[in-house]
Amino acid sequence: MVNVALLDRDGVLNRDRPDYIKNAGELEVFPFARDAVETFKAAGWLVYVVSNQSVVARGLASRGDVDGATSKLIREVGPVDGVFYCYHKPEDGCECRKPEPGLLLQALAAAADVGPVEECWMVGDSARDVEAGRRAGCRTAVVLTGRLTAREAKGLEPPADVVADNVGEVAKIITRLRAG
């Protein structure tokens, strides 16, 4: 039975931008992102990226641009077990755009021999990541490298199970919880 980390991308693994990440050149991977993936891998976890990428539907980037950014991410953080994007716009009313849980459920379905979903973790930088995680039945962690201040992160409703400075810290904390 394996543990699963579902990681948001922008604001967690790389710096977010108010005008979206539109190509590989705009994707600036955080230095602790590689440590985080390595920590999860060393502990035997599966790692999936689950990210809203409406940038294509908004006409700001091509699918090829998004693929280029994904390739850069994987080069810099190391291999992950899967990358799941929602390409829809908010008004499309899809089931995969967070805070809907569909994207997380797709990733969990792809994970073979996954343990109980309530032992899986969603790691994000926004209220909608935490909401999506809870709706998927996962535990949740929120980092302070994206949309939320520490005060906002601690005041989320529903609350996250863990609030940490960055994804590297989250990886250390939650792999230790499972080991202990």
Catalytic residues: 8, 10
Establish if 10 lies at the interface with Mg ion (CB under 5 A): yes
Q: How far apart are CA 39 and CA 97, in angstroms?
A: 28
Residue closer to Zn ion, measured from CB, 39 or 53 = 53
Q: Single out the residue of 3, 4, 6, 8 in contact with Mg ion (rule: CB under 5 A).
A: 8
Contact predicate 136/164, CB 8 Å: no
In 14-166, alpha helices (H): 31-42, 63-77, 102-110, 127-136, 150-154
Establish if 41 lies at the interface with Zn ion (CB under 5 A): no
Q: How far apart are CA 36 and CA 26, in angstroms?
A: 21
- Which residues sit opposite 30 in a β-bridge? none
Q: Single out the residue of 11, 101, 133, 168 in contact with Mg ion (rule: CB under 5 A).
A: 11
Give the one entry of Mg ion, Zn ion, none that residue 81 binds, where binding means its C-beta sits below a cut-off of 5 to 8 angstroms depending on kind.
none
Establish if 9 lies at the interface with Zn ion (CB under 5 A): no
Establish if 125 lies at the interface with Mg ion (CB under 5 A): yes
Can you give the binding site for Zn ion, defined by CB under 5 A? Answer: 86, 88, 94, 96-97
